[in-house]
Structure 1
Amino acid sequence: MEKLGKTIKIVGIFFLLFGFVQTTNAQFLKKLGKRAEKAAERAVERRVDKETTEKTDQVLDSILEPGSKGNGQGGNPIPQSTEPNTSGSSSGGGTSDGNSGMGQTAEKSITVYSKFDFVPGDKIMFFDDFANDFIGDFPSKWNTNAGGEIITMGDSPQKWLELKSGYNIYYVPDVPKLPEEYTIEFDIGAVGLDRQTSSTAQLRVTLSDDDKFKEGTNYAYAEIPFCQYAAIGVTVENRINGKREIRSTVKADLRDEILDMPHVSIAANKQRFRLWINEVKYLDVPRLLPAGAVLHTVKFHMNNFKDGKEKVFITNLKVAEGGVDLRRKLISEGKISTNAILFESGSANLKPQSMGVIRQISQVLQQEASMKLKIVGHTDADGNDASNMELSKKRADAVKNALVSVYNVSSDRLMTEGKGETEPVGDNGTADGKAQNRRVEFIKQ
């Protein structure tokens, strides 16, 4: 009787746990994609079994794969866009890194970025948001030795390149030969990650002297971790003339960030290599890169992801020459123009990544107490002339407001003007040209 009683208790506990799994699973699937549930999602994943993972995969497949027939539970797949991205057509110049449309995300306060010191290059060499590519195609301005396709997320027009994981699989954008000083920026998206995601699941960004599908004799790379069950740091490694000189892993917990479409920024200044994820600088290695412009190619490589389940995407890749200190240029020349101040598409809402440049402007004004500046906004040619003129003025005003509210610059030292699309510096018929035209000027008065 005692053994029978224990058996009944065990059976009861089993059914209780099974009921908990079913309830939790339903709640998890209902809330999938909401940023506010990211932390809870990981906790749930630690309690549920294979059934939860399988159902989650079905939902993800219905979202991510064009032509999906549904999730197997009677639900409808989220519609896929089959047209080129036209979000800029009414935006009056969009943004050089667009709206990342995966899930619901709360905008970070720009004050969080008030000490962010990344400054993008001011001469755009390459920009691709895949606006001119069709869903399901491999992007026209990239090369690979494997495969990949353009996808959209839900009803957002933002396009993403889905990468494939595998040994010696590389994705190589058609970036012109890299100079000694340049910056690289892009957005990451990821779905299907859980506590079973490998600790070696990483996205590698490589700078190489090989322009095809090998590491090269000279290279340097940073590896961004995607593991969710433990905090895996950011790894950096190099080879100079075939000899490894540096390999190290910096402690970092990126589990929440990697689920929330992080923005990655890289600055290469001769031999120095720096990497930021959102507003935090994780790497700053003074002599990682070989002397001279030896590493002329950018490559992306995924490793140790579960095929078909763990999906990684990138978009808004921008490579720009420069990234030098704008403060000295403003003081010596009295004028600078920058594409590094970014706005949400079709609006005057500053993106937090813009604070690197705005911070430098505030430092100039602090040092030069008598200096006054005119802030001039410019857009590309998308949209009508009147709307672009109005938007460019609002964007100039937004920069002024950030200088006043975040860095305590006196408002009477700043004036603003909008010039819309009237003074292009690039071809509005190309993505690169549009990105060049979306700019802000600071002119000493």
Structure 2
Amino acid sequence: MYKKLSLSIVLSCCALISKSQIRINEPSRVIERQAENRANRKVDQAVDRGFDKVEEGIGSLFKKKDKKSKEQTNSQNSESSGDFKNNETEASDPVSASDATRPVVKSTLKSYSKFDFIPGEKVVAVEDFSQDAIGDFPAKWNTNSSGEIVTIAGNDGKWLMLGPEGVFYPEFVKQLPENFTLEFNLATTSEFSFYSGALRTVFAELADPVKNFSYWQWYDGNKAKGIELGLHPNGAGGKQGFASFDIFENQAESIMKNDKSIPAFTVPDHNVVKVSIWRQKTRLRLYVDDYKVWDLPRAFNPNTNYNFIAFSNQGYSQETDRFYISDLRLAIGAPDTRSKLITEGKFSTTGILFDINSAIIKPESFGVLKDIAGVLTENAMVKVKIIGHTDSDGDDSSNLALSKKRSESVKEALSKDFGIDKSRLETDGKGESEPASQNTTAEGKANNRRVEFVKM
């Protein structure tokens, strides 16, 4: 009996170690390319992980508890708890998902004290999926995979849940100038596997984006050129996530690549993040929440006609893993606060953001406020009037009152957080009475929700 048990244990060890090795050596299914590059440095960890599983298996041989009964209990518990519903049917049901999400922890303005991101001057594309029904794939997108619009309890708005192994292409983005910013919210399921692929944001030149958007599913760089930014969260148990950066120039392999850890993105504790990407001619900056991941002076090729944005997901190792994106916002232009405020006498920004129907400033506004405060500090004799504006949603009187409250909030932030003397700041609000764009589109409304600074 002892010999049979020993032989059984040895065979189980071999099988489990072999399985662990297969998980590393078959990245086409479970690990995206940057994780594969890191795998050789993590072989010892992976083998240890395999042995841990073996030890757990051996231990279970001597347990008197009914293992099957315990697994059924755990399975029932996992279905009734967690951060997000993890399959497409449940995630698309906003009612059933409402009790399944950990409360969102709000960041403060001061917590973004190192955040220097400044959005582009004019909003040209907004995607909040408001026009799409829950359970549908969004009408203005295309994919060679699957996906659907869902809600996530504890988080505002609608989200696009990305299916496995595919490219997700917003067809309404047709051109990217030399100065632009792209912002979006990114979330994962709470137990997202380290062995699942990263979410990749692609900026590329394609001869026919509508026809050939799927070239970027598996790094088909011999048919297109551009850059890819990958984001993968840190996992439970100390597994390090990473951010990757690749440049492709009409060849299958990347001609430049880097990767690094991103402490701001950790499951399950912090699996909803704000991603901000900033292009200034050839320069690229990438932020996850307030953490600056990349600041690369020569990332974009000035001779490449970037006419394509997409999100690429290269496979989930667990059926329950999912990426979600929401609140995509593309803005163009390079704001020159100093020149416009001091020379022209007026600076307008859509980069100071507020909670919905509120005068509470969102923390990602820190970079813009810091920039304005810097100009006022350098020009100590200048006084400005801060004027709030809203879109046309809601009634006139409410919008007027809200715009005044928002201008007061900006004044308070400049004084309290940046040391600008309040005597140099006056406030006013115009509500919806002076629109910068038509209020008939999401982009127009985004441009109308602005704050102006007028030199006095």
Name the CA shift for 1:260/1:227 in 2 (closer, same or farther; >3 Å).
closer
Q: Is the CA contact 1:191–1:259 (under 8 Å) kept in the aligned structure 2? A: no
SS class of match (1:399): helix
Name the CA shift for 1:192/1:362 in 2 (closer, same or farther; >3 Å).
closer
Aligned-partner Cα distance in 1 for 2:249–2:337:
31
Show the counterpart of 1:143: 142
Aligned-partner Cα distance in 2 for 1:378–1:368:
25
Name the CA shift for 1:155/1:259 in 2 (closer, same or farther; >3 Å).
closer
- More RCO (CA 8 Å, sep 6+): 1
Q: Does 1:380 align with 2:399?
A: no
Show the counterpart of 1:56: 78
Aligned-partner Cα distance in 1 for 2:346–2:66:
67
In the TM superposition, residue 285 of structure 1 has moved relative to its aligned partner by 1.0
Show the counterpart of 2:454: 443
In the TM superposition, residue 104 of structure 1 has moved relative to its aligned partner by 1.2
Aligned-partner Cα distance in 1 for 2:72–2:282:
47
Amino acid in structure 1 at the alignment position of 2:183 = E
Q: Where do 1:353-364 residues align within 5 Å?
A: 353-364=364-375
Show the counterpart of 1:84: none
Aligned-partner Cα distance in 1 for 2:373–2:250:
42
Moved more, 247-256 or 60-69: 60-69
Per-residue deviation, residues 192-251 of structure 1 (Å, max 9, x unmatched): 425xx1345211001011222213521101100134141122110001343733101123
Aligned-partner Cα distance in 2 for 1:11–1:365:
68
Show the counterpart of 1:191: 189
Per-residue deviation, residues 233-287 of structure 1 (Å, max 9, x unmatched): 2110001343733101123333258834100000011111110011110101111
Aligned-partner Cα distance in 2 for 1:316–1:69:
18
Show the counterpart of 1:214: 215
Q: Is the CA contact 1:342–1:353 (under 8 Å) kept in the aligned structure 2? A: yes
SS class of match (1:126): strand
Q: Where do 1:240-255 residues align within 5 Å?
A: 240-242=249-251, 244-253=254-263, 254-255=265-266
In the TM superposition, residue 305 of structure 1 has moved relative to its aligned partner by 1.5
Moved more, 279-288 or 293-302: 293-302
Show the counterpart of 2:358: 347
In the TM superposition, residue 61 of structure 1 has moved relative to its aligned partner by 11
Amino acid in structure 2 at the alignment position of 1:56 = S
Aligned-partner Cα distance in 1 for 2:268–2:91:
31
Per-residue deviation, residues 286-315 of structure 1 (Å, max 9, x unmatched): 111111452221110112314640121100
Per-residue deviation, residues 160-184 of structure 1 (Å, max 9, x unmatched): 0111121x43333421311111000
Aligned-partner Cα distance in 1 for 2:92–2:175:
44
Show the counterpart of 1:162: 161
Q: Is the CA contact 2:120–2:180 (under 8 Å) kept in the aligned structure 1? A: yes
- Structure 2-normalised TM-score? 0.76
Q: Where do 1:152-301 residues align within 5 Å?
A: 152-154=151-153, 158-166=157-165, 168-194=166-192, 197-210=193-206, 211=209, 212-215=213-216, 216-228=223-235, 229=237, 230-242=239-251, 244-253=254-263, 254-256=265-267, 259-292=270-303, 294-301=305-312
In the TM superposition, residue 62 of structure 1 has moved relative to its aligned partner by 8.8
Name the CA shift for 1:303/1:389 in 2 (closer, same or farther; >3 Å).
same
Q: Where do 1:280-429 residues align within 5 Å?
A: 280-292=291-303, 294-306=305-317, 308-429=319-440
Aligned-partner Cα distance in 2 for 1:388–1:348:
11
Show the counterpart of 2:96: 77
SS class of match (1:403): helix
In the TM superposition, residue 60 of structure 1 has moved relative to its aligned partner by 6.1
Name the CA shift for 1:65/1:424 in 2 (closer, same or farther; >3 Å).
farther
Aligned-partner Cα distance in 2 for 1:257–1:318:
26
Q: Is the CA contact 1:385–1:420 (under 8 Å) kept in the aligned structure 2? A: yes
In the TM superposition, residue 415 of structure 1 has moved relative to its aligned partner by 0.6
CA RMSD of aligned residues (A): 3.2
Identity of aligned residues (%): 33
Aligned-partner Cα distance in 2 for 1:336–1:132:
32
SS class of match (2:373): helix
Moved more, 108-117 or 392-401: 108-117
Amino acid in structure 2 at the alignment position of 1:422 = S
In the TM superposition, residue 149 of structure 1 has moved relative to its aligned partner by 1.0
Name the CA shift for 1:303/1:366 in 2 (closer, same or farther; >3 Å).
same
In the TM superposition, residue 58 of structure 1 has moved relative to its aligned partner by 5.9
In the TM superposition, residue 17 of structure 1 has moved relative to its aligned partner by 12
Q: Is the CA contact 1:183–1:267 (under 8 Å) kept in the aligned structure 2? A: yes
Moved more, 402-411 or 185-194: 185-194
- Structure 1-normalised TM-score? 0.78
Aligned-partner Cα distance in 2 for 1:237–1:63:
32
SS class of match (2:365): helix
Aligned-partner Cα distance in 2 for 1:173–1:134:
18
Higher helix proportion (structure 1 or 2): 2
Amino acid in structure 2 at the alignment position of 1:161 = L
